[in-house]
Amino acid sequence: MIYRRFSEKEEAVFEGIMELLRNGNNPYKITVSEIAKSANIGKGTVYDYFSSKEEAISMALIYNIQKDIATVKNLVIRENTFRDKYFKIISLLQENIENKYSTLSLATNYKELDEIFNHDLDTKRDPGFFITELESIFSIIIDKGIEEKIIYDNETKYYQISAVRSSISGYLGYISHRECFPNIDEEYAKDVSYKQLIKMLK
């Protein structure tokens, strides 16, 4: 994970890289000159802050994923009930998956992107950082369900989080293959996912 403040120039580089990726540029073919032009800075300035384009791209993706996760967490926290919090997280994850220009989609669209992510950064990327951040949101949802006495607190946190992950995966599986379920609409699929979650945590 990367936890520090970035300068305006660094953030400009991050935004420039994301713009290039969202325009369909392959990260392996992007040049430092293209990054500098997209960020509206000089080529030499990129090297003032990053040792290579791989480091810049890696940090841009991690930075933006962390920003997106923080936004998701805040939106989930704002919801008042267990049900609303759960429906919010599955809706947000659905939006992320269906938007090919979302940071998550861009970060997972290239099979060999680990070569970039594993670049020798001062702060190494934790391969499971996205899962860890998601699970912290799942914990918020679980705690609300326990508070409302909709679910019981008689299982380990690992079991509870696994139940949330499983029910969400079921819904996202429907979203990815909805042509296989022509008579099922999204709202019904969400309701089924929610009911399955409650049954697993009762």
Residue 70 in contact with residue 30, Cβ under 8 Å?
A: no
Q: How far apart are CA 61 and CA 45, in angstroms?
A: 19
What 3-state DSSP class applies to 101?
coil
Average pLDDT, the chain: 86
Residue 70 in contact with residue 51, Cβ under 8 Å?
A: no
- For a pLDDT cut of 70, what percent of the chain falls above it? 83
- CA neighbor of 1 nearest in space, from 108, 129, 119, 113: 129
Residue 108: predicted pLDDT? 56
Residue 130 in contact with residue 66, Cβ under 8 Å?
A: no
Residue 128: predicted pLDDT? 62
Q: Where exactly are the structural domains of the chain?
A: 62-201
Written as six digits, the tokens of 18 are: 């994301």
- CA neighbor of 21 nearest in space, from 52, 61, 62: 61
| Helix, strand, coil distribution of the chain in percent, nearest 5 | 70, 0, 30
Residue 139: predicted pLDDT? 96
CA angle 119, 125, 128 (to 5 degrees): 135
Per-residue pLDDT of 81-138, as tens digits, reads 999 999 999 999 898 888 776 766 666 554 445 555 555 444 445 556 677 888 999 9
Residue 162: predicted pLDDT? 96
Residue 112: predicted pLDDT? 46
Per-residue pLDDT of 162-181, as tens digits, reads 999 999 999 999 998 999 99
